[in-house]
Structures are given as C-alpha cells and as structure tokens.
Structure 1
C-alpha cells in the first residue's frame, strides 16, 4: 500500500511516526528502460509511492519524460535516416553536447521513435525491452499515476536552458497537473529542480510541495549563469538550508551528502545534514539507490570483485537502505522500488 503523503513539518514525533516514501526513480530503471510507461507501471507494481519523470520540452512545447533533452542514448533516433540532419552540437548548462535534442522535434515526430536501455553494459537484461515503448508525455505519466493511486515527482531539466529557447517548463507542468486536479499542497506531487530560480518562481505560482535538489558537488546552473558564488556545498550548511526553506519544502540530496566516502571508497561518519534539514523544517529525500555493486558504496558490495559480472551483480542494497532509514531520511529515490519497499515492510514487522 502506498504511504500517505504528509507535508514537511518540524522534526519530532510527527516525523518519526511517518514511513519514508519510496520514489520510483525514472520508474523502475533497474528493470525496464527508464522513463517509459512500462517502467512506471513496474514501479507501481513493486510498491512505489511516487513515480519520477524527468521533464524536457518538444519543439511544440509539450512536456515529455526523458533523462536528458539529448536522446541518442535513450531512443533509436540514430536509426532514423529521416532525422540524420538534425544531429547537432549544442551548449547545455555550459557544456557542449552532440546528438539529437527533443526541442528540435515535434511531439508527432518523437512519437515515431522508440525507447531503449540507456546503460546496456550495466543492465543487459533491459535490452529485451528495447524498441517496445514510445516516449511518454507528462500528461500520460500523470494519467498512469492517478489510475494506480500513486503520486508524481517531476523534475524540471535544464530550466534556464529551456527558458532561453522560449520553452519554459513550469507553465505547462502546472497546466498538466491542474488539468488532472492536482493543485493543492496536499496533493500527491513533489516538484524538483537542481536550479533555484525556477523553484522560487514556482513558489509564487503554486502551493504544491517543492524540492531543492542538491548535487554532490558544483553549483545550481542558474546561479552560475548569474555570476552568483553560491554552491551546493553552501546550500547544505545550516544557514544554507534555512535559506532553502524560504521557498522549498525539502531537499533531494546525493547520498554522499548524508554519508560521505573516503579515498578508498569506504564510508565515513554521517554528516549532520539530516538533522540540520529537519531543524529547518525540510524533508530529506536521498538519491539514488541502485542494486548493482558498482553503484553501491564499497562497504555494501558482495561477491568476487575479480568476476566480470561483479559490477552488475546485486550487492547488499538492503543493508545500505537500512542504514539510510536508520539515519532518518524521509524518502529514497530507488531504481528498484521493490527493494526499498521490501526493506520498509521488514522494518514494520519488527
């Protein structure tokens, strides 16, 4: 059963009494090609409370679910000779990227493409589903979520970049949610971004919960573009978190912000981030929990490192989840939501 969405509040008994939420990261990326309706459906079947679409825009300003606006790694666009001339190089958030971009395609054109596994070397079994699913619209993702009684946790990808193209993400995002009746603070929605300006703007437009994403290093691109010295390191200080709380309801943080690793890859003592965030009345959602050894801290890897299958073999992901839950996270982004749900179920039986 999906957990009831409770809103952020002061750390204390009310926070301890609620179960952490399970967020199906890109659906169930460990088991199906990410950001496809089969991936989201699988996440729901495995017990996700929320499904997470990354949102980018088409040329005709329709929001679709893709990890990036560059789609050569997640679709078969390279196999379509009719689109060969659209391969180009663009600068996205200050980084040159070569490939095919959603903003150069209408929705009708994108519908002729099919999704494929983004990292086949790590997840070869997922390639069995290559070519089966089209790129879903955000509207379709919300329809799926409501049909199955779960929430959505959309991320606005590269909002400054899309603003520069006249394809702002925030207005169509809110329009889609409103069309489906999701406009209130207690609706099953979190809106997330690695940037800050669009979250501050959204705060003036909606009461839906907002989540400030915080990377393991670097800075929000909108602040970089504006010449602002603020970094993600500065945002996780007690004062930085209080500043975030002026416009957001929580933070979505890389797990290394919660438990850093040393030079040998082994975990060090936990930071005070969760405590400090809770004192600022912010929830803490940790990303990303993955089952494979190569995606886990060294302390939680299992098997023979010399085996060629070791990097993609399942490690002690349940132990890693248990550690994060013990530290007090309010939710986890999981590539395999079933694992995160199973650990919570086992804990509830104790």
Structure 2
C-alpha cells in the first residue's frame, strides 16, 4: 500500500476529472457510515470514502455523522442504556438523545446501525456494527491493494470545539492514527475537513495532508441565495463573520493560508428559489455564482455537497434526472462532488468524458 500512496495523484486545478467522494459511504443504498456502505461505494468506483469522526468516552475515534446516535443506531432498543438518554448543549444548541461520548467502544460495538431517512431502504437496519476510524482505514488500504487503485479517505472532524471542551479532542488522535499508517504528507490519499476554522489552523501545523474548509448554510433566502450561518468557533469567539464572508476574495485568501480547498454547499455555486417549506423538487435554479472561479483563482480546489438521487432533492430544472445535476456542476468546473449515490456520480462523469 505504501507504493500506492506514493503513486497517488490528487486531481486538483490541473484539468483532471472531478473526484467522487462517497458521502458517508453509498448511503443512498445502505445505512450510512457502515463498512458495508463503504464497501458498496468502493465497488461502485468511488475515489474517496468519507468517515465522519466522533469520540467514544474512552477516546476512540468512531464513525458517526453526529455525536447524537439516537437516529442512526438501535440504542433506544437497549434497555441497559435507557438511563443514558440525556440533553446536551452542542455548538450552542440543546439536543436530546444518546451520545457517543457517553459510551465506551465496547458498548458502542453492541449497537447496530439504522437508516436515518424513512424514504430510503430500511431492510438493512440492525445488521451492521458501528465502525472505528481504524477499521475504515484498514478497509480503504485492503481494497486499494485488491483492486489496484488508490481509494482515499476524507474524514470530517465533527463538533471539534465540543470534543475539546469535554477532554476528548479529535485532532491529535486523528493525526496520530494517520501517521501510524504512513499518511502524514501530501502524498497521502487523505483529505481532512471541518466546518470550524480554528481546528483546521491547528491541523495545518500538525500534518501535511490536505485540508478543506467546509462552507455551510442554514437555508435559502427569498432571493435564492444561501442563508450562511457561522462557523461555531466564530460564534464562540465573538467573530461576526459568516460562511458567506469566507467566500469573498479576502475570505478565500485567508482560507488559503491554512487549507487547500473548500467544501461548499452546492447552493453557494448555483442558487435556487423555492417557496417556504417546499423541498428542492419545487426549486427553480438561478444563474451560477462566481465561487468556483474565485476559489480557483485563490489556489483552492472546490468539492461541493451533497448530491442525491432522491426526487425531493432535485431542483425542478433537472426534470427528475440526477445525471443532469452532475453534468451542470461538472461543466462549471467543480473539482469533486460528495454523493450519496457514487455510482450515479461516476456514470455522469463517464458520460462527460465521452462527450
């Protein structure tokens, strides 16, 4: 695998095809963040698999989209854990449920994963364990060797300020784990992402792997542009800037001092107008923004999220065809896409290559 890592060429700003990042694995088909979902994504041809990282009570990095494991596991069926249901304030928001940092790894391993979205397949619920970060790395390396191609990992540090506040910082464990596997510099098939900024700045001093500043939104305004919200470390530190401010010329230049790319919600690239409360199937697209061009000018690659086949996530302009959405973003020059359906993203990429 070391040879594969040395041969890895990261496709960015060099005319190479956009990469396909399996968002929580092939999560459109199987429960998210399970080894089965990652294996399916790899079978479908994904370039990267994306593990979101949270910590257990005993400091082990496991893979869940949120610290709150209520919706994505069968923890509610375990009477022995009933008393651990609680309320926590995470990133300034009060949340009720069961939380990974109240469980040891041994206890987490007694749980099984569930499909969070009711309109996706439910027959695989309660079949798969919750994987550790180590297990995901082992899978990526094993499959890279078996298939003769490099499969990268794209970990996200979830709620880094919260984790550090409770004595379970993610960054040191993450970097230590990557180093142990020989992944410490830009030859590594690794990208670390975060919605916060301070931990990315810290990571820049700790590792040479590529870093991505995620750009979030909290909805769409009346004019079709994203309502940006703010990185939590900005809120906690009294910084009034929003994610939109990070996409200005000055903001992008600042990101370039500590990161290699941006991961924006796709609505920052192509806005959409929809009536209040409507899903995206009723949204009408606006003209593309200049974000991709501006980011490239600043020397940053752009990996947009999230692309899904489910009809309610497809703007009306695409006529119910998810391939049309990918084609638009590929032609706009995006460097990568996060997809719940990697096979569809790859099919659209292949079709564009054959044009």
Relative to the length of structure 2, the TM-score reads 0.90
User: Partners in 1 of 2:307 and 2:246 — Cα distance?
Assistant: 22
**Counterpart for residue 50 of structure 2:** 52
**Counterpart for residue 34 of structure 1:** 32
Q: Offset of 1:263 from its aligned partner?
A: 3.8
Contact 1:257/1:273 (<8 A) preserved? yes
**Counterpart for residue 324 of structure 1:** 329
**Counterpart for residue 308 of structure 1:** none
User: Partners in 2 of 1:103 and 1:177 — Cα distance?
Assistant: 22
**Counterpart for residue 98 of structure 1:** 96
Aligned length: 326
Q: Deviations over 1:242-297 (max 9, x none)?
A: 11001000000000000001245200010000000000000000000000110122
Alignment partner of 2:250 out of 236, 239, 248: 239
User: Partners in 2 of 1:225 and 1:39 — Cα distance?
Assistant: 35
Matches within 5 A, 1:150-299: 150-216=151-217, 217-263=228-274, 265-299=283-317
Contact 2:11/2:19 (<8 A) preserved? no
Give the SS at the match of 1:56: strand
User: Partners in 1 of 2:198 and 2:56 — Cα distance?
Assistant: 22
Q: Offset of 1:231 from its aligned partner?
A: 0.7
Contact 2:56/2:100 (<8 A) preserved? yes
**Counterpart for residue 6 of structure 1:** 10
Q: Deviations over 1:22-74 (max 9, x none)?
A: 00000011000000000000000001000001100000000000010000100
Q: Deviations over 1:168-191 (max 9, x none)?
A: 000111111112111121210000
What stretches of structure 1 of length at least 5 have no aligned partner? 302-314
User: Partners in 2 of 1:66 and 1:28 — Cα distance?
Assistant: 14
User: Partners in 2 of 1:6 and 1:116 — Cα distance?
Assistant: 33
**Counterpart for residue 304 of structure 1:** none
User: Partners in 1 of 2:297 and 2:8 — Cα distance?
Assistant: 22
Give the SS at the match of 1:91: strand
Give the SS at the match of 1:287: strand
**Counterpart for residue 345 of structure 1:** 350
Q: Offset of 1:158 from its aligned partner?
A: 0.2
Q: Offset of 1:335 from its aligned partner?
A: 0.2
Contact 2:63/2:130 (<8 A) preserved? yes
Q: Offset of 1:4 from its aligned partner?
A: 5.2
Alignment partner of 2:80 out of 79, 82, 85: 82
Contact 2:11/2:17 (<8 A) preserved? no
Contact 1:254/1:287 (<8 A) preserved? yes
Alignment partner of 1:113 out of 107, 111, 114: 111
Give the SS at the match of 2:41: helix
